[in-house]
C-alpha cells in the first residue's frame, strides 16, 4: 500500500492494487432484477433458485406494492434435488403456469442462482426448449445472477450479454452507435438530443425499453459503454463485429464531455461542432457542480466495493469536487474498460479489489473519512459509530449520467453531510 | 419446484440469524456464497439496527468451489472467534452450502474452541424461517441450560415472589419490541417478576439460568414452543398457552398466568379503549364487514377472534402459512365456520381472496400486493412485513395498548361511515366516487377528479405499472362463459357500493347459473339480492 504512494506517476494506470480475500459484503447479481424489470417493461425474470433467492428479491423490492410483479422465483425443493430430469419437467410446468397467468409477457429470463449452478441445472438448454415451445409470443433467455459468479451490477452485464445473440444483424456495414447499459429514460433522451447535434447516429440503446425492439448489431456498430461493469456484454458485442469506443464514463461534466467526444471523433465531427453541441450544457452543469463544490472540497471519502462504479465516481469527486480520496474499493477492476478512468485518478490513490470486510472496516475506522460510500449492511452501523455514509446502491438507481445530472450526482454526496450538520438532536 | 411470486418466510438460516441478532454474546458463522450477506440488510435497514448482525459469512465464490471450501469455513470460524470473542457460537450452512456438504458442525468441533459451539442442522430445501428460529433457539437453550438440569425427581423450591421467563421475541419479529413491555406490565400488575427475556436481549449466560424461573410465558409459539416444551420436560416448568392479542385473549392470558403463579387475577384496564370505541355508535357500520385473515398462525388466530368478537366483523376466510400449526388453524377456522387455508403459496391465497371478495383483508406485506390488485382495503397483522411496520412509536399488538392499536389500524383503511352512506346514495359526484380512495386516505386519483367515473370499473386505487389483465378474476371469467350481463343490469350493478359490488356480481352470477339463466337482467340482480340477503 505504501508502495503505491511512493511511485511517482501521473494517474493510476499502473498503480498497484490491494487484492484481498475474505468475507465480501456485497449483493449477488440477482439484485440487478430490481432495476432491470423496470427498464425492460415487457420482460419477466424467473429466478431458478432457493427460498434464499426469493427472499433476497422481495426484501430488496418488496417495499413497493405490486399489483403485478415482474419477477418471481422457481424454488427448488427436495424432490428436484433427487434427479435432474425431473427438474426440467418441473421448470416447464412452472413456466407454463406463469405464462398462463401473465399473457402480456414477451420475454422471459431464466435467471441462474448459486443452487442451480451448483447442481448444474442446464438453464440454457431449458431456455432453448421453452423458446421453441412459446415462440413467437414469448422468447425465453437465460443468464446467471448467482453470487458465486456475479457481484451486484454484474447481473446486468450477464443479462445484457444474453440479449446480444438475440439482436438482429445489421444489414450491410452501415455505421450506427449503440449505447450499452441501462440508463434512466430522461438520460437516454438527453443523450439522443446531444448526439443529434453532434451528427452522430443512428443511436440505439441496449437494453431497449421493450423486449421486441432490440437494436441491430453488425460490423458497422460502434458502441459506447455507459456503465463500467459490462465486460461480458462488450465481449459478446465484439464477437458480433461491433467495435468499442474507448472513453471514460459519462459521470460529471468532464466524463460526459470525454464520452460524447469519443463518439463524435469516430463520426469525424469537427472540434468546433463538438464544442458548439456540448458547451452550453457543459457550462450550465459546471456552474451547478461548482455550487456544490464548496461543500465537498477538501473532504475525504472512502469507497467500499459494491458496483464497479467506484473508480469513475472517485475520479469525478476528486477532479470536479476537490474531494480527497482515501481508499477506492471495487469488487472487480476491469483494467481495459477503466484505462481512461485510471489515468485521470490522482496519483497515489489507494485502489483495492475484492474484500475482507472486517479488515477494510478497520482501515476505514482508522482513517475516519468524512464520507464513507458503502452498502446498506454497513451504512447504519457506521453512522452509529459517528461516520457519515452514503449508501452506494442509490447510485445505481438514480439518474446520474450526463451533464444535467452532474450536480444531482454531486448532491447525493453532499446531502449526508448537510443532513449531519442540520440535525440538532 | 414451486412458483413463488412472493415467499411468506425466508430460508431457515434467516431464522437462526434472528435469534443470534436478538441475543448478546452469540456469534454465528454461516457457510454461504457471496451475496447471502443481503440478510444483514433485514436487520440494519428493515429493523434499523445500529449494529452489524453478529454473523460471519464465508462468502465463497465459484473459484473456491474447486478448492478447499471446508478450510475456508475453518478459517472463518477461527477469525470470528478471535475478533468477536463470543460466549457461544452457532455454526451452520445456507442453502447453497448445504449442497456442497462441508459439515460445518463437525469442522467447528475439530477446532476445539473454549466456548460452546452449537451446530445447526437447518434443511433449507424443506424448512423455513420460523422453523429455523425455533430450532436455533431450542438448540441454544439446550446447550446453555442443559448442564443445569436437575436430577429427575427433584422438587423445585418456590421463591417468595413468583418468577417467569418471557420466551419468543426475536430480531425482525413483528412488533416484538413493543409486545414485551406490554406483557411485562400485565405480569407486574400480578406481582410476577420477569426472570429472563429470551432470545431478545439475553446472553448465553442468561439462558443457563432459565431453569430458575417458576414458569414460562410463550409469546410466540412459532419461535419458542419447542424450547418451552423442553424446559417443561427438563425443569418441570409449565408454560402459557394463550397469546394475549386482543381484549378477550389478554383477559384469558391474565387468568392463565395468575393460575400458574398462584396469585389472584387482576388487570388494570383503565387505558383500555377498544371495547368502548367498538360499542360507540360510530362503529355500528363495521357490523358484518366481511374480512379475510392470513398470517402466521399466532397472529391469524388471534385476529380472527378480535375481528369476530371485538370488532363485530364477519370472518369469511382464515388461513396461515405456518404449516407446523395446521391443527390450531383448522380448529380456529371451524370455530368461525370457514374453510381453513393452510398454504405458503401466494397464488393460492390470492385466488382465495379473489373468490371471497372480502371488504377488508388482514394479512401480511404479501396480502397488500393482492389487495392492491383487487382494490380491497388492507391492514398488516403479521410478518412478513417491511420497514414501515417497524415504527418508531410504541405500537404493540399484545395487551391493553395492543388492543387499542388493533382498533385504530384495522378501521383506518375502511371508508368512513358518512362517506360510505353518501357514496351509496349519490354515485356521480365528481370528487367523491368509486374510482377514488376513501377521502381520509388523502390522495384520490387526479384523473378521476373532474370527470365522473363513467366506466364504473372495480375500484383500483393506485396507478398500475403495466397493462394488467382485466380486473375480472379467474373465477368470474370462468363463470362468464355462458353468462352475459344485460346492459341495464350492468348499470344497476354499478349502483351497488363498490366494496360489496364484487360479492354482488359473484352472487348474482351464481344465482343465474344455478337457475340456468343466460342473460342477467335487473330482475335477476334483485332476485339474487333477495335470495342471498345477508
Residue B440 has pLDDT above 80, yes or no: no
The total number of residues shown for chain B amounts to 534
The cell for B265 is 387475577
Query: Is this prediction's ipTM beyond 0.90?
Result: yes
Residue B498 has pLDDT above 80, yes or no: no
Is the peptide bond prior to B115 cis by the omega test (within 30 degrees of 0)?
no
DSSP string, B306-352: IIIIIS--EEEEEEES-GGGHHHHHHHHHHHTS-EEE---HHHHHHH
Q: What span, in angstroms and rounded, lies between the C-alpha atoms of A153 and A33?
A: 10
The mean pLDDT value for B444-453 works out to: 39
Return the percentage of chain B with pLDDT > 70, whole number.
Answer: 87
Residue A321 has pLDDT above 60, yes or no: yes
Say what the pLDDT of residue B414 is. Answer: 84
Say what the pLDDT of residue B497 is. Answer: 74
Q: Phi and psi at residue B226, in whole multiples of 5°?
A: -65, -45
Sign of CA dihedral A424, B389, B414, B273: negative
Say what the pLDDT of residue A32 is. Answer: 94
Return the percentage of chain A with pLDDT > 90, whole number.
Answer: 82
Segment among A179-183, A419-423, B257-261, B477-481 with least mean pLDDT: B477-481
Residue A361: pLDDT band (50, 70, 90) is very high
Residue B162 has pLDDT above 90, yes or no: yes
Q: Phi and psi at residue B55, in whole multiples of 5°?
A: -130, 130
Q: What is the pLDDT of residues B188-213, one digit of tens each?
A: 999 999 999 999 999 999 999 999 99
Residue B455: pLDDT band (50, 70, 90) is very low
**Residues within 8 A of A (CB atoms), B 450-479 only:** 460, 462, 464-469
Residue B226 has pLDDT above 60, yes or no: yes
Q: Which residues of B are annotated as a binding site?
A: 36, 417-418
Q: What is the pLDDT of residues A329-343, one digit of tens each?
A: 999 999 999 999 999
**Residues within 8 A of A (CB atoms), B 224-243 only:** none
Chain B residues with CB inside 8 Å of A210's CB? none
Residue A111 has pLDDT above 50, yes or no: yes
- Catalytically annotated residue among B40, B64, B103, B282: B282
Segment among A306-310, A397-401, B121-125, B331-335 with least mean pLDDT: A397-401
Q: What span, in angstroms and rounded, lies between the C-alpha atoms of B126 and A186?
A: 46
Q: Which residues of B are annotated as a binding site for substrate?
A: 417-418
Compare B62 and A61 and report the one with higher pLDDT: B62
Residue A288 has pLDDT above 70, yes or no: yes
Q: What is the pLDDT of residues A91-104, one digit of tens each?
A: 999 999 999 988 99
* Interchain pair A148, B51: CB under 8 A: no
The mean pLDDT value for B95-123 works out to: 94
Q: What is the pLDDT of residues B7-40, one digit of tens each?
A: 999 999 999 999 999 999 999 999 999 999 999 9
Residue A181 has pLDDT above 80, yes or no: yes
DSSP string, A186-240: HHHHHHHHHHHHHT---EEEES-SSGGGPPPB-TTEEEEESSTT-HHHHHHHHHT
Segment among A67-76, A156-165, B238-247, B374-383 with least mean pLDDT: A67-76
* Interchain pair A30, B35: CB under 8 A: yes
Residue B526 has pLDDT above 80, yes or no: yes
Chain A residues with CB inside 8 Å of B11's CB? 50-52, 55
Q: Give the C-alpha distances (Å, rounded to integers) separating A299 from A162, A274, A289, A388, B39.
A: 41, 34, 15, 11, 32
Give residues with Cβ within 8 angstroms of B391, minimum separation 6: none
* Interchain pair A28, B34: CB under 8 A: yes
Q: What span, in angstroms and rounded, lies between the C-alpha atoms of B55 and B448?
A: 51
The mean pLDDT value for B286-291 works out to: 94
The mean pLDDT value for A127-152 works out to: 95
Residue A278: pLDDT band (50, 70, 90) is very high
* Interchain pair B369, A28: CB under 8 A: no
Identify the closest residue of chain A to B128 by CA–CA distance.
Answer: A51
Q: What span, in angstroms and rounded, lies between the C-alpha atoms of B502 and B358?
A: 9
Say what the pLDDT of residue B470 is. Answer: 35
- Separation in Å, CA of B419 to nearest CA in chain A: 26
Say what the pLDDT of residue B304 is. Answer: 98
Sign of CA dihedral B44, B49, B51, B53: negative
Residue B479 has pLDDT above 70, yes or no: no
Say what the pLDDT of residue B445 is. Answer: 43
Segment among A244-248, A314-318, B449-453 with least mean pLDDT: B449-453
> Angle of helix B326-336 relative to helix B297-305, nearest 10 degrees?
20
CB B498 within 8 A of CB B376: no
Say what the pLDDT of residue B57 is. Answer: 97
B282 is catalytic: yes
Give residues with Cβ within 8 angstroms of B448, minimum separation 6: B433, B435, B436
Task: State the average pLDDT for chain B.
Answer: 88
Amino acid at each position: 500500500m505504501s508502495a503505491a504512494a511512493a511511485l511517482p506517476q501521473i494517474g493510476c494506470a499502473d498503480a498497484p492494487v490491494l487484492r484481498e480475500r475474505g468475507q465480501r459484503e456485497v449483493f449477488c447479481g440477482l439484485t440487478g432484477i430490481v432495476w432491470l424489470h423496470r427498464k425492460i417493461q415487457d420482460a419477466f425474470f424467473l429466478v431458478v433458485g432457493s427460498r434464499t433467492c426469493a427472499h433476497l428479491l422481495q426484501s430488496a423490492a418488496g417495499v413497493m406494492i405490486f399489483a403485478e410483479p415482474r419477477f418471481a422465483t422457481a424454488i427448488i425443493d427436495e424432490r428436484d434435488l433427487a434427479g435432474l430430469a425431473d427438474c426440467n419437467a418441473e421448470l416447464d410446468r412452472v413456466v407454463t403456469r406463469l405464462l398462463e397467468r401473465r399473457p402480456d409477457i414477451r420475454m422471459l429470463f431464466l435467471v441462474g442462482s448459486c443452487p442451480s449452478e451448483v447442481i448444474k441445472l442446464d438453464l440454457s438448454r431449458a431456455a432453448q426448449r421453452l423458446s421453441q415451445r412459446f415462440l413467437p409470443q414469448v422468447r425465453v433467455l437465460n443468464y446467471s445472477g448467482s453470487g458465486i459468479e456475479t457481484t451486484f451490477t454484474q447481473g446486468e452485464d450477464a443479462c445484457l450479454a444474453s440479449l446480444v445473440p438475440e439482436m438482429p444483424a445489421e444489414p450491410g456495414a452501415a455505421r450506427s452507435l449503440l449505447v450499452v447499459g441501462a440508463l434512466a429514460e430522461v438520460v437516454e433522451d438527453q443523450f439522443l438530443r446531444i448526439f443529434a447535434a453532434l451528427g452522430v447516429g443512428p443511436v440505439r440503446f441496449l437494453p431497449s425499453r421493450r423486449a421486441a425492439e432490440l437494436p441491430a448489431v453488425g460490423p458497422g456498430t460502434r458502441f459506447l459503454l455507459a456503465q463500467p461493469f459490462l465486460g461480458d456484454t462488450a465481449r459478446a458485442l465484439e464477437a458480433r463485429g461491433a467495435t468499442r469506443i474507448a472513453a471514460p464514463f459519462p459521470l460529471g461534466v468532464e466524463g460526459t464531455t470525454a464520452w460524447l467526444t469519443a463518439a463524435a471523433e469516430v463520426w469525424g465531427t469537427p472540434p468546433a461542432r463538438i464544442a458548439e453541441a456540448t458547451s452550453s450544457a457543459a457550462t450550465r452543469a459546471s456552474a451547478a457542480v461548482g455550487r456544490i463544490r464548496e461543500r465537498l472540497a477538501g473532504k475525504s471519502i472512502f469507497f467500499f466495493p459494491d458496483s464497479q462504479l467506484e473508480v469513475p465516481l472517485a475520479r469525478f469527486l476528486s477532479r470536479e469536487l476537490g474531494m480527497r480520496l482515501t481508499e477506492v474499493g471495487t469488487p472487480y477492476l476491469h483494467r481495459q474498460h477503466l484505462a481512461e478512468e485510471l489515468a485521470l485518478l490522482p496519483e497515489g490513490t489507494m485502489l483495492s479489489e475484492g474484500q475482507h470486510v472486517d479488515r477494510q472496516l478497520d482501515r476505514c475506522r482508522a482513517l475516519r473519512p468524512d464520507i464513507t460510500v458503502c452498502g446498506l449492511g454497513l451504512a447504519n452501523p457506521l453512522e452509529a459509530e459517528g461516520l457519515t455514509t452514503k449508501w452506494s446502491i442509490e447510485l445505481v438507481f438514480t439518474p446520474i449520467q450526463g451533464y444535467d445530472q452532474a450536480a444531482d450526482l454531486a448532491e447525493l454526496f453532499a446531502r449526508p453531510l448537510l443532513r449531519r450538520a442540520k440535525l440538532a438532536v | 419446484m414451486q412458483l413463488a411470486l412472493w415467499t411468506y418466510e425466508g430460508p431457515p438460516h434467516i431464522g437462526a440469524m434472528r435469534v443470534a441478532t436478538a441475543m448478546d454474546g452469540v456469534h454465528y458463522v454461516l457457510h454461504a456464497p457471496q451475496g447471502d450477506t443481503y440478510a444483514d440488510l433485514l436487520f440494519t435497514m428493515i429493523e434499523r439496527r445500529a449494529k452489524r448482525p453478529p454473523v460471519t459469512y464465508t462468502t465463497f465464490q465459484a473459484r473456491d468451489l474447486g478448492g478447499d471450501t471446508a478450510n475456508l469455513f475453518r478459517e472463518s470460524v477461527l477469525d470470528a472467534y478471535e475478533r468477536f470473542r463470543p460466549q457461544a457460537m452457532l455454526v451452520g450452512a445456507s442453502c447453497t452450502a448445504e449442497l456442497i456438504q462441508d459439515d460445518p458442525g463437525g469442522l467447528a468441533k475439530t477446532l476445539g474452541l473454549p466456548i460452546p459451539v452449537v451446530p445447526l442442522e437447518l434443511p433449507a430445501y424443506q424448512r423455513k424461517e420460523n422453523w429455523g428460529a425455533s430450532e436455533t433457539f431450542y438448540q441454544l437453550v439446550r446447550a446453555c441450560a442443559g448442564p443445569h438440569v436437575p436430577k429427575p425427581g427433584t422438587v423445585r423450591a418456590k421463591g417468595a415472589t413468583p418468577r417467569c421467563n418471557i420466551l419468543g421475541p426475536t430480531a425482525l419479529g413483528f412488533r416484538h419490541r413493543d409486545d414485551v413491555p406490554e406483557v411485562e406490565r400485565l405480569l407486574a400488575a400480578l406481582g410476577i417478576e420477569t426472570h429472563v427475556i429470551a432470545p431478545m436481549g439475553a446472553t448465553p449466560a442468561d439462558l443457563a439460568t432459565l431453569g430458575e424461573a417458576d414458569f414460562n410465558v410463550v409469546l410466540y409459539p412459532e419461535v419458542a414452543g419447542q424450547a418451552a416444551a423442553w424446559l417443561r420436560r427438563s425443569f418441570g416448568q409449565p408454560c402459557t398457552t394463550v397469546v394475549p392479542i386482543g381484549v378477550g385473549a389478554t383477559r384469558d392470558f391474565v387468568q392463565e398466568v395468575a393460575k400458574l403463579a398462584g396469585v389472584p387475577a387482576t388487570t388494570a384496564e383503565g387505558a383500555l379503549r377498544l371495547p368502548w370505541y367498538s360499542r360507540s355508535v360510530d362503529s355500528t357500520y363495521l357490523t358484518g364487514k366481511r374480512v379475510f385473515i392470513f398470517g402466521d398462525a399466532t397472529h391469524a388466530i388471534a385476529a380472527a377472534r378480535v375481528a369476530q368478537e371485538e370488532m363485530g366483523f364477519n370472518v369469511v376466510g382464515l388461513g396461515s402459512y405456518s404449516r407446523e400449526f395446521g391443527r390450531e388453524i383448522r380448529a380456529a377456522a371451524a370455530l368461525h365456520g370457514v374453510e381453513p387455508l393452510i398454504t405458503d403459496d401466494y397464488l393460492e391465497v390470492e385466488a382465495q381472496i379473489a373468490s371471497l371478495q372480502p371488504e377488508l383483508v388482514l394479512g401480511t406485506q404479501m396480502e397488500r400486493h393482492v389487495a392492491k390488485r383487487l382494490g380491497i382495503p388492507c391492514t398488516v397483522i403479521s410478518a412478513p412485513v417491511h420497514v414501515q411496520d417497524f415504527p418508531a412509536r410504541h405500537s404493540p399488538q399484545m395487551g391493553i395498548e395492543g388492543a387499542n392499536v388493533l382498533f385504530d389500524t384495522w378501521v383506518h383503511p375502511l371508508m368512513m361511515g358518512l362517506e360510505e352512506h353518501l357514496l351509496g346514495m349519490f354515485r356521480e359526484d365528481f370528487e367523491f366516487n368509486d374510482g377514488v380512495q376513501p377521502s381520509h386516505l388523502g390522495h384520490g386519483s387526479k384523473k378521476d377528479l373532474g370527470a365522473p367515473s363513467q366506466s364504473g370499473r372495480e375500484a383500483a386505487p393506485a396507478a398500475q405499472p403495466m397493462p394488467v389483465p382485466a380486473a375480472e378474476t379467474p373465477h368470474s371469467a370462468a363463470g362468464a362463459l355462458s353468462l352475459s350481463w344485460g346492459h341495464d343490469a350492468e348499470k344497476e350493478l354499478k349502483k351497488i357500493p363498490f366494496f360489496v359490488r364484487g360479492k354482488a356480481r359473484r352472487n348474482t352470477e351464481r344465482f343465474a347459473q344455478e337457475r340456468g339463466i343466460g342473460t342477467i337482467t335487473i330482475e335477476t340482480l334483485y332476485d339474487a339480492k333477495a335470495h342471498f340477503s345477508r
